[in-house]
Amino acid sequence: MKKKLQTIAVFIMVLALGFSVLTTASFATDINHVKHSEGNVEIQSIAQVMLSPDLHEVVKGLLIKGTKVTVVEKNFGGWYRVTADELDGWVYGIKVGDKLYPMDSISDEEKAKYEEEQDRIEHESAREALVTDIIAYAKSYLGKPYCYGATGPNSFDCSGFLYRVFGDMGIDVPRSSRDYGSFGTTVSLAEAKAGDVLVFASSGGRIHHVGIYIGDDKFIHSACSTGVTITSIYDEYWQPRIYLVKRIIQ
């Protein structure tokens, strides 16, 4: 193992090895997002090992192709903290199964696909965090009575409840339930995610009620008879009246 591990001094520039340096922005990371993991991987080409996930940091050493290392940490930016004998540092790349491909060893197209997927993961993570806050906030009003025309905080009508909950989270939504018919992105009920808006209508298609889908086949809403409550989408009254599912938070 030690024969494969080559330690280099700070003044040896990795450019001499033909490393294609990406922009600093591509490598920018927030160390607070580090996630723990474990596993042995094999390096698939020469990899530079950094002191930390930042190209401005000092190069600690090199790992040649075929070196087996242990991944002890990772983060969303594509950085992996690896150990091999006495060397402990960060490698930037793509992990596929038990193989770690340093970023300079793959094509620009593969890099773009990888970075696009990382952006998608981070976006979805941010959405989930926002939706969690929205649902928790909505639940804080459970039991508040229904009142036509009210937007809280002590009573609500159906659209007033959504207007208050989304609005206080910085998201503009219609004040009238009818306007949800042309607002947001329509998805199927099977595609519904927590945070989507359920729109209810009469058999003739007249929209008369809205609620927030909270997952697990349930939604929270302000109904005339119950006030703010949580109801199953399979409720015998509400299920046949589900008309649209609207995605407000993309």
* C-alpha 32 chain-centroid distance: 15
In the annotation, is 158 catalytic?
A: yes
- Spatial CB neighbours of 127, under 8 Å, sequence gap ≥ 6: 195, 249, 250
In angstroms, the CA 229 to CA 208 distance is 17
The 10 Å Cβ neighbour count of residue 56 is 9
Per annotation, catalytic residue among 36, 208, 221, 224: 221
CA angle 233, 238, 242 (to 5 degrees): 75
pLDDT confidence of residue 39: 73
> In the chain, where are the structural domains located?
5-106, 124-247
In the annotation, is 221 catalytic?
A: yes
Q: Which residues of 16-30 are buried (b: 16+ CB within 10 A; e: fewer)?
A: eeebeeeeeeebebe
In angstroms, the CA 153 to CA 137 distance is 12
Per annotation, catalytic residue among 36, 158, 208, 224: 158
- Spatial CB neighbours of 183, under 8 Å, sequence gap ≥ 6: 173, 174, 246, 248
Q: Cis bond leading into 153, ω under 30°? A: yes
Per annotation, catalytic residue among 33, 208, 209, 224: 209
- What residue type is assigned to position 6 of the chain? Q
CATH class of the domain whose range is 124-247: alpha beta
In the annotation, is 33 catalytic?
A: no
Per-residue pLDDT of the chain (250 residues; tens, 9 = 90+): 444 334 333 323 333 333 333 322 222 233 333 444 457 888 888 788 888 887 666 778 888 888 899 988 887 678 889 998 888 889 888 887 788 888 776 677 777 777 787 788 889 999 999 999 999 999 999 999 999 999 999 999 999 999 999 999 999 999 999 999 999 999 999 999 999 999 999 988 999 999 999 999 999 999 999 999 999 999 999 999 999 999 999 9
